Amino acid sequence: MARREASFICQNCGAVYGRWQGKCDACGEWNTIAEENAASARPQMPGRAPRKGRAFALEALAGATHDAPRLASGIAEFDRVTGGGFVRGSVLLLGGDPGIGKSTLLIQVAATLARAKQRAVYISGEEAVAQVRLRAERLGLAGAQVELAAETSIEDIVATLGEGETPRLVIIDSIQTMWTDLVESAPGTVTQVRASAQALIRFAKRSGTAIILVGHVTKDGQIAGPRVVEHMVDAVLSFEGEGSQQFRILRAAKNRFGPTDEIGVFEMTGGGLREIANPSELFLSERDLGSPGTAVFAGIEGSRPLLVEIQALVAPSSLGTPRRAVNGWDQNRLSMVLAVLEAHCGVRLSGHDVYLNVAGGLRIQEPAADLAAAAALVSSLAGSSLPADAVYFGEISLSGAVRPVAQTASRLKEAQKLGFARAVLPDAGRAEGTGGDAGLSLQSVGSLASLVADIAAQGKAHDRRQPSDGRRERSDDRTSATDARARKADAG
């Protein structure tokens, strides 16, 4: 009789304890430790003699490799993130908040593949077949030959998939709802999720089928269940977006077969997810021209340039410790820029609350955004708007110098394509950029202090010309006629 070895496992991080406790020492979460039967999770039963190891041949590192044959999904933004399509036998984990559109995206992927005459199977553990069908109908995909099932037993799923022609793509929505007979824990527990994922990964490697596992995300953005699943799979993708906004961004946190810095941009519409081939246009479409505190950053995401608006609000604070809130950018980076502004540029911000926001729910990781963020902050503090036709990029060093960044030319080209007329950039970027050819006027700044002086001077000139009326103007009605009208109204 096998001895039951109960152990207590944190459902958040997978740490194992000998007894129950309220808080996990490993990850600091409360109430995440649950009892699980570990013994039966082991493939080898206690009491049975250990199997003798089988010798296998070792191979040389040099040797014939078959280039991983890929299957493009047919959705370009998705393929960009995976690195050109699904690799045979690979397993992807797709995480994201509930309702963000994971199921929608994957049914679209499955349908596109099915239309290209590849066998695609969609297994839902959360929704009934009728619900999945209903969604496909809404998306206009009902005609695609996707094979559907509402199943949660891993053994049944593997047995079914093993029959007939090998599917090219299998979608498991979601891994947390799956369970295997091999272990006794309840579905959704760490042990179950791990064992189910293992069984599916074994099937994928054996058959060459690509599998996408949907994973739920906890409130702090991690894929619920064990982090170990992230280590087991070939790629971890996350689908992100602000609930209130229509943009959805797909990124890779890990990718054994491709880059991790590419993003795919989608828009959630009534008819499902629409690919956004030129995200800059989307991120700039809602711009508030002429209001102080906004700067356009010419960034690079992966291999593609991306323009995005950075918004800052600097307001007098009534708090002892002023507030520093940032959305879409690194908090430490903001602290650094603020410190440089104080120390080297004479900009006093210690009595002000500072809010910084990247428009459109995008998350920027590049240090090149420093200059745009600083410009937005100073513009908000000075109450003077930055030129609407300028883009900013450059890294700020602790000494207050503006340092060059990579890929100047493609940043400038994108800016020019979207109708911008000038770029504010590091000194060295000027030579490299050859932006003059792109028709942009380049203003190079060697130090943050000179940019601050520029913005302050612009503000003064602007004040003399036209008293600020605090009105927000949209891009399309910012003509000289409305300017003249506004001036007349202010005068009268």
| Nearer to Mg ion (CB atom), residue 103 or residue 192 | 103
| SS3 at position 76 | helix
Minimum distance from CB of 34 to ligand TYD (Å)?
24
Q: Which residue is nearest to Mg ion (CB)?
A: 103
Minimum distance from CB of 103 to ligand TYD (Å)?
3
Give the binding site for ligand TYD (CB under 6 A). Answer: 96, 98-104, 135, 138-139, 268, 270-272
- Torsion over CA: 317, 318, 321, 323 (sign): negative
| Nearer to ligand TYD (CB atom), residue 69 or residue 98 | 98
Residue 167 binding partner per list Mg ion, ligand TYD, none, with a CB distance cut-off of 5 to 8 Å that depends on partner kind? none
Contacts of 177 (CB under 8 A, 6+ apart): 125, 126, 152, 187, 188
Contacts of 275 (CB under 8 A, 6+ apart): 75, 76, 77, 264, 265, 266
| Nearer to ligand TYD (CB atom), residue 268 or residue 341 | 268
Minimum distance from CB of 230 to ligand TYD (Å)?
18
| SS3 at position 447 | strand
Cβ(270)–Cβ(277) below 8 Å: no
Told to check if 108 binds Mg ion by CB under 5 A, we report no
Residue 306 binding partner per list ligand TYD, Mg ion, none, with a CB distance cut-off of 5 to 8 Å that depends on partner kind? none
CA–CA dist 194, 179 (Å, integer): 10
Residue located via tokens 């995300």: 217
Cβ(424)–Cβ(375) below 8 Å: yes
| Nearer to ligand TYD (CB atom), residue 102 or residue 403 | 102
**Surface-to-core class of residue 186, CB atoms within 10 Å of its CB (0-12 exposed, 13-18 middle, 19+ buried):** exposed
| Nearer to ligand TYD (CB atom), residue 134 or residue 489 | 134
Minimum distance from CB of 304 to ligand TYD (Å)?
25
- What six digits make up the tokens of 480? 């000289």
Minimum distance from CB of 127 to Mg ion (Å)?
7
Minimum distance from CB of 402 to ligand TYD (Å)?
41
Residue 270 binding partner per list ligand TYD, Mg ion, none, with a CB distance cut-off of 5 to 8 Å that depends on partner kind? ligand TYD
| Nearer to ligand TYD (CB atom), residue 251 or residue 352 | 251
In the region spanning residues 68 to 107, those forming contacts with Mg ion, defined by CB under 5 A, are 103
Tally Cβ neighbours within 10 Å of residue 142.
13
The contact set with Mg ion (CB under 5 A) reads 103
